[in-house]
Amino acid sequence: MAFSNEFKVALTKEIFRNDDGAGLHDAIYEATDKTYTDDVIKQFFMDLPTELQCLALEWGLSDTQFRDDVYTCLKNGKIREAE
C-alpha cells in the first residue's frame, strides 16, 4: 500500500504538530553523522516507506522500533540519505 502525496503531506503535518521530530533527527544523525534542518527532516519523513510512516503514526517519531528501523534502512541503503 502506498500513500498519495496529499495524504503524506497531511500525515507529516499531523505527526510533527505534536512532535518536534527529535527522535527522527537523532536516528538520521546516528546513521549518517549529519544534521539537517526541520524542513529536510519533514521531507525525509515523507519519503520513508509506508510501513515506517504507519509505525510513526501509531507510536511516534521517538519510538525505539521506529528509530531502529530508520537507522537500519539508512545503513543498508534502503532509504536514500537526504541531500
Which residue from 19, 63, 59 is spatially nearest to 41, judged by alpha carbons? 19
Count of structural domains within the chain:
1
What is the per-residue pLDDT for 68? 96
pLDDT at 47 over 90: no
Which residues in 38-75 are b (16+ Cβ under 10 Å) and which e?
eeebbebbeebeeebbebbeeeebbeeebbebbbebbe
pLDDT at 64 over 90: yes
17-42: per-residue pLDDT in tens?
Answer: 878 889 999 999 999 999 999 999 99
Instruction: Establish if 10 belongs to a structural domain.
Output: no
Percent of the chain with pLDDT over 70: 94
DSSP string over 36-57? --HHHHHHHHHHS-HHHHHHHH
Instruction: Establish if 5 belongs to a structural domain.
Output: no
Domain that holds residue 22: 18-75
Whole-prediction pTM value? 0.82
Percent of the chain with pLDDT over 90: 39
